[in-house]
């Protein structure tokens, strides 16, 4: 008997839910600016934290390569310290010890000392 009463109460509850009117969904007009604001904010953060500093670093590195001249003390990206003895269009020759010269690409120069 207990099982039958449970079934009747479940059936009655289901019937009552089915017969009650469903609430009408409210159609709110989406604000396009409010939806795009987070995307614009993320793009701005990427620009100021990643893209712009990288462009400035690249610009300063290119200025360094253009300004290389004979007698400059430099460090390569591999950590080799030397003195520029010859500058060509794309290459430099570094003297790393007495009478020891190594030819490098200009892009291998990391910094002046």
- What span, in angstroms and rounded, lies between the C-alpha atoms of 54 and 47? 10
User: Residue 23: inside a domain, yes or no?
Assistant: no
* Domain-embedded: residue 76: yes
Within the chain, strands assigned E span 73-76, 81-87, 91-97, 100-105, 109-112
Q: Which CATH number goes with the domain that contains 41?
A: 2.30.30.30
Q: How many domains does the chain have?
A: 1
Task: Report DSSP state, residue 30.
Answer: P
Residue recorded with tokens 């990206």 = 77
Q: Is residue 21 in a domain?
A: no
Q: Tens digit of pLDDT for each residue in 38-82? A: 999 999 999 999 999 999 999 999 999 999 999 999 999 999 999
18: pLDDT strictly greater than 60: no
CA distances from residue 4 to 15, 34, 43, 65, 77 in whole angstroms, order as listed: 16, 54, 62, 90, 84
Of the pLDDT bands very low, low, confident and very high (cuts 50, 70, 90), residue 14 is low
d(CA 42, CA 54): 17
Looking at the domain assignment, is residue 50 inside a domain?
yes
Q: Could you tell me the residue range of the domain that residue 67 belongs to?
A: 32-112
Is residue 1 in some structural domain?
no
């Amino acid at each position: 008997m207990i099982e039958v009463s449970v079934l009747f109460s479940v059936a009655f509850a289901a019937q009552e839910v089915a017969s009650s009117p469903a609430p009408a969904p409210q159609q709110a007009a989406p604000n396009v600016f409010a939806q795009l604001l987070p995307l614009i904010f993320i793009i701005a953060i990427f620009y100021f934290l990643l893209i712009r500093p990288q462009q400035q670093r690249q610009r300063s590195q290119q200025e360094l390569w253009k300004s290389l001249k004979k007698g400059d003390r430099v460090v390569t990206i591999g950590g080799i310290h030397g003195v520029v003895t010859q500058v060509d269009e794309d290459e430099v020759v570094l003297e790393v010890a007495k009478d020891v010269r190594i030819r490098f690409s200009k892009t291998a120069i990391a910094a002046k000392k």
